[in-house]
Amino acid sequence: MQETADCKYCRERGKTWNGADPKCGFATGTFTAENWCCAALSELREIAEEQVFPSDDYNGKRWRVNDVSFAIVPAFNADDDLFGYIALSWYKDRGKCGQAYIFYDDDTPKPLTLKQVEMAIDYYRAVRGNYKQIISDALGPTPPAASK
Ligand SMILES: [Zn+2]
């Protein structure tokens, strides 16, 4: 039997609304489309629209055509290395995220894993709002480099 548990983001947020109960998208450790208001997926959707980095090349992006959204979030690890691009798709602004994959140039796209989500979200939480200060203090005026 497969072990299931809500992700740490769902656990820390809990249920903050009336209506359908949340259903974590990573209860098995890998993305499942049987999700509703998973806090990790919601946060990735928000990150896609944030201006975190000084250069727009490094920020996520969201498109919405008719009622279907598609978003890309560059995924960095704690060493500032890009380990992939997270691609998400969902309908209207509803709680279900229909697709979540990780892409990298020389690799086949794969369903997003909780491990990858944790690296990416924890990175954005650490740098959000103070990235400009971090790069001027530590890295100089350059955005993070892609890793091999
Ligand atoms: Zn979750």
Question: Does residue 128 lie within any of the structural domains?
Answer: yes
Closest to 46 measured CA to CA, from 65, 29, 59: 59
For the chain, the domain total comes to 1
- The answer to the question of residue 85 being in a domain is yes
Is residue 141 included in any domain, yes or no?
A: no
pLDDT in tens, 57-81: 889 999 999 999 999 999 999 898 9
26 CA distance to ligand 1 middle (Å): 6
Task: Write down how long the chain is.
Answer: 148
Give the pair of three-digit tokens for residue 44: 């990735």
Give the residue from 123, 142, 128 showing the smallest Cα distance to 49: 128
DSSP state of 96: -
Does 139 map to a domain?
A: no
* 26 falls within a domain: yes
CB contact set of 111 (below 8 Å; sequence gap of 6+): 30, 31, 100, 101, 102
User: What pLDDT, in 10s, does the model give residues 77-108?
Assistant: 989 899 999 999 999 999 999 999 999 999 99
* Ligand 1 centroid to residue 137 C-alpha, Å: 34
In a domain, 144, yes or no: no
The answer to the question of residue 37 being in a domain is yes
Q: What residues make up the domain containing 94? A: 8-134
Cα of 141 to ligand 1 centre, how many Å? Answer: 35
- Residue 103 identity: F
In a domain, 142, yes or no: no
C-alpha 35/C-alpha 45 separation (Å) is 14
Ion ligand 1 residues within 5 Å by Cβ? 7, 10, 24, 38, 40
